[in-house]
């Protein structure tokens, strides 16, 4: 029994060991499962990144393949719950559609991307989607919608730069997008305003948009302003950069370069550049949407050369391509009739509903705040009233206590004064008794000296000496009693006038007892004139002016 109670293991030890092993197996299974899941996530992310990079590599060489790859990377990112990367995949997918002039598909992808951005707090990625949507609207000359989205995008980045969340140079692409839009809309003055802002925020150390792109737009604006020579000089200067770094962009470059030569009536150079632009577009499968514009320019050029056949063929091609890419009746653009963004309408309705709810909530909060303020005001007033009466009562008690203390103090002072006066009277009486005693002894001494009785001279001297000693002792006794009663008086006398002699102190003590000069002379055994002399000496030591009475001054100490 004892062994059973004290055992550290349960009775069914073997069964519990099995349970332990079972839980250990589960623990390690879960542990390795978590590791496996983490590894799978990393693997999915790596795979998604590789697919995305491959799509970027093929976007000009094989657009159809790149579209499939971007969609696949999007799906993998979503599986990995990486919304931001998934949106970036959709943006690149939309750009492939845009480069191939499939605007309906580009538009649809961008709206899907915008819906995804609602599930993330990443403002930058949302602004990129706004920017791309704005450019899509601009291709259809939908100026209001285009600028609305472009300016929304710009405003987000300006706020991010203002709050030091991004480098100010990060604003440049969003100014640049508005510059390109105003250039497409042939509004050079507005384009120039935004281009100046682009140059203002441009930084060589952080080239978000290369300087060559800004110079390219500057040349186009100069061309629209008929400053063709200046424009031509810029184009020639920046051409090597585009040739080396952005060969697919030469579709636009050659087209606008050709426009400058066309304005200068240099038809041969202009034609050569337009044909180069078409060749680059076909080679890189890029900026196909620009080909109708190039053919329109060729039509104008051939008319100037009186080459009506080529002018007709160019115009026909331009019309066909324009209808294919931009006519709302074409199969490519049927979904884009009036570009009905039901998503935006739904979002606006939701926003209005949210605003109405917020307004109602604010009104309710205002009512609660007003009620809270009223309660607070009543509470404060109530506390102030209680505080007023409490302080008033406290002050009354304090005042009563002060008066009581003052009265008690006055009584104590009065008692002390009465006691002092009583003791001083006793001292005065004692002093008078000493005077009478001294006079009696003097008379006695006189009678003894004058007596005819035969007393030995030695005995007589002994008696007289005893009388003198007795007299001195009496005075010392009186002095001690006086100091005891008038201690403060003596302390002040010593403090103020340390140069007073012992004889002066005696005179001061007797003045304090209101004794006359005659009584002092009798008590001290000196003449009245000596007393007056002592009084005069004391006044001099105390430096008292004539108008101050010595008795009054000593009594005031």
Main-chain phi, psi angles of 497, to 5 degrees: -130, 75
Cα separation of 227 and 42, whole Å? Answer: 56
The least confident of 2-6, 230-234, 415-419, 523-527 is: 2-6
Confirm if 168 and 203 have CB atoms less than 8 A apart. yes
Cβ contacts of 446 within 8 Å, gap of 6 or more: none
Residue 189's nearest CA partner among 179, 202, 199 is 179
Average pLDDT over residues 280-308: 89
Residue 260: pLDDT over 90: yes
Residue 208: pLDDT over 90: no
Average pLDDT over residues 352-364: 77
Q: What is the DSSP letter of 165?
A: S
Q: What is the per-residue pLDDT across 32-68, written as a single tens digit (0 to 9) for each?
A: 444 445 455 567 778 888 999 998 888 878 888 999 9
Confidence at residue 18, expressed as pLDDT on a 0 to 100 scale = 43
**Per-domain residue ranges of the chain:** 49-120, 122-209, 407-556
The alpha-helical segments, DSSP class H, found in 451-501 are 457-485, 487-496
Confirm if 191 and 183 have CB atoms less than 8 A apart. yes
Cβ contacts of 123 within 8 Å, gap of 6 or more: 156, 160
Which residue did the predictor score with more confidence, 72 or 466? 72
Cβ contacts of 234 within 8 Å, gap of 6 or more: 215, 216, 218, 219, 222
The least confident of 13-17, 44-48, 384-388 is: 13-17
Average pLDDT of the residues of the chain: 79
Cα separation of 507 and 551, whole Å? Answer: 11
Confidence at residue 6, expressed as pLDDT on a 0 to 100 scale = 34
Model confidence at 25, pLDDT cuts 50, 70, 90, reads very low
CA–CA distance from 445 to each of 378, 440, 453, 511 (Å)?
Answer: 98, 9, 14, 29
What is the SS3 assignment for 80-101?
CCCHHHHHHHHHHHHHHHHHCC
Q: What is the per-residue pLDDT across 173-206, written as a single tens digit (0 to 9) for each?
A: 999 999 999 998 889 999 999 999 999 999 888 8
Confidence at residue 424, expressed as pLDDT on a 0 to 100 scale = 64
Could you please report the per-residue DSSP string of 215-226? HHHHHHHHHHTT
Model confidence at 277, pLDDT cuts 50, 70, 90, reads very high
Residue 161: pLDDT over 70: yes
Cα separation of 517 and 528, whole Å? Answer: 6
Helix, strand, or coil here: 331? coil
* Percent over 90 (pLDDT), the chain: 24
- What Rg do the C-alpha atoms of the chain give, in angstroms? 59
CA angle 129, 135, 140 (to 5 degrees): 135
Q: What is the per-residue pLDDT across 112-134, written as a single tens digit (0 to 9) for each?
A: 888 888 767 777 888 888 888 88
The least confident of 40-54, 75-89, 251-265 is: 40-54
CA–CA distance from 553 to each of 385, 493, 495, 538 (Å)?
Answer: 55, 11, 15, 12
Q: What is the per-residue pLDDT across 402-428, written as a single tens digit (0 to 9) for each?
A: 888 888 888 777 776 666 665 665 666
Alpha carbon 452 to its chain's center: 118
The least confident of 95-109, 411-425, 427-441 is: 427-441
Residue 307: pLDDT over 80: yes
Cβ contacts of 249 within 8 Å, gap of 6 or more: 242, 286, 287
Which residue did the predictor score with more confidence, 550 or 189? 189
Residue 303: pLDDT over 90: yes
Residue 427's nearest CA partner among 316, 547, 494, 513 is 513
Cα separation of 224 and 7, whole Å? Answer: 99
What does the buried/exposed string (b/e) look like for 185-216 if buried means 16 or more CB atoms within 10 Å of the residue's CB? eeebebbbebbebbeebbeeeeebbbbbbbbb
* Percent over 70 (pLDDT), the chain: 75
Main-chain phi, psi angles of 548, to 5 degrees: -95, 130
The least confident of 143-152, 226-235, 356-365, 425-434 is: 425-434
Residue 21: pLDDT over 50: no
Confidence at residue 453, expressed as pLDDT on a 0 to 100 scale = 55
């Amino acid at each position: 029994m004892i062994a059973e109670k004290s055992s550290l293991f349960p009775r069914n030890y073997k069964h519990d060991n099995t349970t332990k092993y079972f839980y250990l197996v589960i623990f390690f299974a879960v542990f390795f499962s978590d590791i496996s899941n983490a590894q799978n996530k990393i693997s999915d992310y790596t795979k998604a990144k590789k697919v995305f990079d491959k799509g970027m590599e093929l976007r000009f060489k094989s657009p159809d393949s790149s579209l499939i790859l971007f969609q696949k990377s999007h799906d993998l990112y979503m599986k990995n719950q990486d919304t931001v990367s998934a949106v970036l995949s959709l943006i690149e997918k939309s750009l492939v559609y845009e480069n191939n002039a499939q605007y309906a598909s580009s538009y649809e992808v961008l709206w899907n991307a915008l819906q995804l951005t609602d599930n993330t707090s990443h403002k930058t990625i949302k602004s990129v989607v706004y920017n791309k949507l704005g450019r899509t609207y601009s291709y259809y000359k939908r100026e209001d919608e285009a600028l609305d989205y472009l300016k929304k995008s710009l405003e987000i980045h300006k706020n991010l730069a203002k709050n030091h969340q991004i480098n100010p140079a990060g604003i440049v692409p969003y100014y640049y997008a508005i510059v390109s839009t105003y250039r497409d809309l042939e509004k050079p003055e507005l384009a120039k305003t935004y281009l100046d802002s682009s140059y203002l925020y441009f930084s060589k150390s952080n080239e978000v948009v290369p300087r060559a792109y800004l110079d390219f737009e500057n040349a186009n604006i100069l061309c629209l302003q008929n400053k063709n020579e200046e424009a031509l000089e810029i184009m020639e200067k920046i051409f090597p950069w585009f040739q080396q770094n952005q060969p697919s962009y030469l579709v636009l470059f050659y087209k606008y370069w050709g426009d400058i030569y066309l304005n200068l009536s240099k038809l041969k150079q202009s034609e050569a550049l337009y044909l180069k632009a078409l060749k680059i577009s076909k080679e890189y499968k890029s900026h196909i949407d620009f080909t109708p514009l190039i053919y329109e320019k060729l039509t104008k050029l051939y008319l100037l050369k009186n080459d009506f056949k080529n002018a007709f063929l160019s115009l026909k091609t331009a019309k066909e391509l324009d209808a294919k890419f931009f006519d709302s009746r074409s199969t490519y653009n049927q979904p884009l009739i009036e570009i009905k963004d039901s998503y935006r309408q739904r979002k606006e309705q939701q926003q209005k509903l949210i605003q109405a709810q917020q307004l109602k909530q604010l009104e309710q909060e205002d009512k609660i705040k007003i009620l809270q303020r009223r309660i607070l005001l009543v509470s404060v007033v109530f506390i102030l009233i209680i505080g007023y009466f409490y302080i008033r009562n406290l002050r009354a008690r304090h005042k009563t206590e002060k008066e009581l203390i003052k009265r008690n103090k006055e009584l104590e002072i009065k008692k002390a004064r009465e006691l002092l006066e009583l003791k001083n009277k006793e001292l005065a009486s004692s002093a008078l008794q000493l005077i009478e005693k001294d006079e009696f002894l003097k008379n006695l001494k006189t009678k003894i000296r004058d007596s005819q009785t035969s007393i030995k001279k030695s005995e007589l001297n002994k008696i007289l000496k005893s009388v003198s000693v007795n007299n001195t002792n009496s005075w010392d006794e009186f002095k001690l009693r006086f100091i005891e009663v008038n201690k403060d008086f003596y302390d002040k006398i010593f403090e103020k006038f340390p140069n007073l002699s012992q004889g002066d102190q005696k005179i001061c003590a007797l003045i304090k007892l209101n004794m006359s000069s005659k009584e002092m002379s009798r008590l001290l055994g000196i003449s009245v004139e000596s007393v007056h002399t002592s009084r005069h000496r004391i006044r001099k030591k105390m430096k008292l002016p004539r108008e101050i009475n010595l008795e009054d001054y000593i009594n005031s100490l």
